[in-house]
Structure 1
Amino acid sequence: MSIFRFPILVWLGIGILITSLGIRQSFGIFMMPISEHFQTGREFFSFAIALQNLMFGVFQPFVGMAADKWGSKRIILMGAIAYAAGLYLTSIATIPSQLYFSLGALVGLGLSATSYVIVLGAVAKVVPAQHAAKAFGLTTAAGSFGMFAMIPGAQMMLETIGWQGALQAFAMLCTMMIAFALFMKSNKATSASQTHQVEEPEQTLGQALKEAFNNKSYWLIHAGFFVCGFHVMFIATHLPSYLADKHLPASSAALALAYVGIFNIFGSYFWGVMGDRFSKRHVMSALYLVRTVVIACFVTLPVTESTAAIFGGAIGFCWLGTVPLTSGLVRQIFGARYLSTLYGLVFFTHQIGSFLGAWVGGRIYDYYGSYEPIWWSTVVLAFLAALIHLPINDKPLRTFKPLAVA
């Protein structure tokens, strides 16, 4: 299937992810100005972002269940409103602790309802199974395009209107997600015959959860995605500060993160296509081996503007390629019916990793005055994740009967 023949819902989901994740991935460049404004160490902002990611994960299974029951449209609308409110309240905060509610809980809730789990759950119901990983890869790449587009803009706004004005501008941008969601049809209205899907055996949510929890491969998928979350949020949150410690200009961090975004556009689609052609678990192992080499080289070589930019591009190529592969594995093993719920639980584990990556990075820096210990920890974790995916049994648990096309 050509990407240009994907249903309109896929493209609306792409628009939502560009906005939601583009804003989210820019938070790292707000660390230093916000920490300086409130006269706090880096652990304060790190913990606020860590709490955001934890809440993102805590809300995700419940939001996923709601989307499976009532459709994605209502959930995305609710999430966009919470996202905008969280950004605006952060911009007018007068004491640091207010950020734990606004930037932490409210933005975390908004992200849980406007990011991958909900959008990919909707996409899974309108795209044939044999093209799912490709569609997931294209949709995942959208978030990276938002990162590429918004981080330079966020840096420019920081320099011209300050961090409060930049967050207020982002809050207004959340209305774009509301507009995209209004044009989405409910997933419940989409029939299997209309979407060339396969008929899945009747199964309750409780049965699906019991089946997944008793499956060893499901927990291995959880473990691998935990590592991904740790990597992504540590790098996104602390790379700007790490480069500043190396006496590089702020523009080098914005450029490196922008390269993460643009190379992930190609990387996410590439890994998604590879997941359609080859065993997803083997492709995942290969991706984590690439991460191992890339991070190890970055922390070993001298840090310059050139190596920072190269690192951004290289890590970007394998940045969120885990998303189409992980969601594709869950769909392949358990089917599409409860994907938002089952993948939502996996994503919760991802967000525990994100919480630790963001918070522990700041904690270790404030304690040791250096990021070196945490960088080498990411190298070890990447290699372990490559090994974790090898024993996964990716055979479908049930057989599906093809439906006649209407």
Structure 2
Amino acid sequence: MLTASRAPELKTVLIATGLVLTMAMGVRHGFGFWLQPISQAHGWTRETYSLALALQNLLWGAFGPFAGMAADRFGTAKVVLVGALFYMGGLLWMAMVDQPTLFVIGSGVLIGAGLACTAFGAVSGIIGRTAPEAKRSWAFGISGAASSFGQFVMMPVEQQLISAVGWQNAFYLLAGLVVLIMIPMAFQLREPANQPSAGPQQSILEATREAFAYRPFLLLVAGYFVCGFQVVFIGVHLPAYLQDKGIMAPGVAVMALALIGLFNIFGSYYAGKLGGFLPKRYLLSSIYLSRAIVISLFLLAPLTSWSVYVFAAAMGLLWLSTVPLTNGVIAGIFGVKYLSMLSGFVFFSHQVGSFLGVWLGGYLYTRQGSYDTVWGIIIALGVFAALINLPINEKAIVRTRPAIA
């Protein structure tokens, strides 16, 4: 338990991680705006750029457990510093490379590694270790709200940059902004002192084996797959979907994605707050079921700019509200010593879903000429995730060899 003298430290950590997440997630959420200009400039189908973003998401997840291990062992600051450089390199690569295979692989590796080192998985450990247990879910909610604020702020910025200076120069400017903000914030991420615990400590291998042998953890992994599939498909393909349906004004898509970010500030914050005193499994189940309902109503209703805005606001409330709850369940079950690593494993499942969602959207559109099949898959997955979160046991695991709680 943290002492009262450490309260300012929590505030500093939340501000620093919040700004890092604002940039990491804000820039990443706007990649859909480049789908059409890059495809047209290079003469690619939508599938090529979709595959690049799909690989970014997949490698983000694959690198996540290792970034988490490094953050847990060597400190979050060092991991964020490395991640900022990878992120910058990835944005420059996307601006300069026009060979399809090199574009897909290079941007996938660089952006994937950059996000793994600067997004939720990497910073969740220091937040969990700094926040008192009673405030932990709330603190995760604050970090989720920060990433949502980034989406709200960066959506119009990125679209305006593309319009004002061109898609290539927009990448150059964002690369500079990433390092100018992330690197100073990394130096503010000082780890709290380790708290003593009785008995021998778990090793990384023991913690990993324990988690994957525990059914509630596997259910979280399966549920997070659905989250990734849903949000990344919508984030990347919604602008193109709206144009296909006759809403040609780019401002509608920009406003929709900005509204998702705006309302997700409240959704993430209040999900974390509610997770402090309500069963997190029921909240998670409600979120996934609500997504399925909202998407169904959006597809059934007449499509207008206002129906898009209502859909975006509703989805925003549900967008990343799963993050503080999922991290809260992991911390509550396993403790915080290896929280970044375990969150990284769960997030890998999220990113496998992201890979399939964004790639399948481009693949099926290329072959079928519409997104109808993918929308149907998204709705069915939402119902599935709602059901599998219900039986999760949130109680702390009983160990004969305790780890830091």
Q: TM-score range by the shorter chain?
A: over 0.9
Report the 3-state secondary structure (helix = DSSP H, G, I; strand = E; otherwise coil) of the residue aligned with 2:275: helix
Q: 1:307 to 1:128 in 2, by over 3 A?
A: same
Report the 3-state secondary structure (helix = DSSP H, G, I; strand = E; otherwise coil) of the residue aligned with 1:252: helix
Offset at 1:280?
A: 0.5
Distance 1:200 1:133 in 2: 27
Distance 1:286 1:292 in 2: 10
For structure 1, the residue ranges without an aligned partner over 5 or more in a row are none
- Answering whether residue 149 of structure 2 is matched by residue 145 of structure 1, we say yes
- Answering whether residue 183 of structure 2 is matched by residue 184 of structure 1, we say no
Per the alignment, residue 234 of structure 1 pairs with: 233
Structure 1 residues 282-291 or 96-105, which shifts more? 96-105
- Answering whether residue 164 of structure 2 is matched by residue 165 of structure 1, we say no
Distance 1:200 1:252 in 2: 58
Distance 2:199 2:183 in 1: 32
Distance 1:100 1:64 in 2: 25
Per the alignment, residue 360 of structure 2 pairs with: 360
Quick check: 1:49–1:355 contact (8 Å CA) kept in 2? yes
1:13 is matched by which residue type in structure 2?
T
Report the 3-state secondary structure (helix = DSSP H, G, I; strand = E; otherwise coil) of the residue aligned with 1:143: helix
Per the alignment, residue 328 of structure 2 pairs with: 328
Offset at 1:376?
A: 1.4
Quick check: 2:93–2:106 contact (8 Å CA) kept in 1? yes
Per the alignment, residue 102 of structure 1 pairs with: 106
**Counterparts of residues 253-292 of structure 1 (less than 5 Å):** 253-292=253-292
Tell me the percent identity: 40
Quick check: 1:7–1:126 contact (8 Å CA) kept in 2? no
Distance 2:213 2:268 in 1: 30
Distance 2:339 2:379 in 1: 30
Q: 1:367 to 1:130 in 2, by over 3 A?
A: same
Quick check: 2:58–2:355 contact (8 Å CA) kept in 1? yes
Per the alignment, residue 19 of structure 1 pairs with: 23
Quick check: 2:22–2:151 contact (8 Å CA) kept in 1? yes
Offset at 1:391?
A: 1.1
Per the alignment, residue 243 of structure 1 pairs with: 242
* Cα deviation 1:108-157 (Å, max 9, x = unaligned): 10000000011111100100112111110110111110101011011111
Q: 1:164 to 1:199 in 2, by over 3 A?
A: farther
Report the 3-state secondary structure (helix = DSSP H, G, I; strand = E; otherwise coil) of the residue aligned with 2:302: coil
Report the 3-state secondary structure (helix = DSSP H, G, I; strand = E; otherwise coil) of the residue aligned with 1:276: coil
For structure 2, the residue ranges without an aligned partner over 5 or more in a row are none
Distance 1:271 1:318 in 2: 9
2:151 is matched by which residue type in structure 1?
M
Per the alignment, residue 308 of structure 2 pairs with: 308
Quick check: 1:87–1:102 contact (8 Å CA) kept in 2? no
Distance 2:364 2:227 in 1: 19
Quick check: 2:54–2:359 contact (8 Å CA) kept in 1? yes
Offset at 1:184?
A: 1.9
Offset at 1:392?
A: 1.0
Report the 3-state secondary structure (helix = DSSP H, G, I; strand = E; otherwise coil) of the residue aligned with 1:202: coil
- Answering whether residue 13 of structure 2 is matched by residue 9 of structure 1, we say yes
Offset at 1:396?
A: 0.5
Given the two structures, how large is their TM-score scaled by the length of structure 2? 0.94
2:73 is matched by which residue type in structure 1?
K
Per the alignment, residue 205 of structure 2 pairs with: 206
Distance 1:225 1:86 in 2: 26
Distance 1:258 1:85 in 2: 26
Offset at 1:183?
A: 2.3
4+ aligned runs moved over 4 Å, structure 1: 198-201, 399-403
1:97 is matched by which residue type in structure 2?
T
Offset at 1:192?
A: 2.7
Distance 1:202 1:314 in 2: 44
Report the 3-state secondary structure (helix = DSSP H, G, I; strand = E; otherwise coil) of the residue aligned with 1:90: helix
Per the alignment, residue 125 of structure 2 pairs with: 121
Distance 1:278 1:317 in 2: 18
Offset at 1:402?
A: 11
Offset at 1:264?
A: 0.2
Q: 1:401 to 1:73 in 2, by over 3 A?
A: closer
Per the alignment, residue 218 of structure 1 pairs with: 217
Given the two structures, how large is their TM-score scaled by the length of structure 1? 0.94
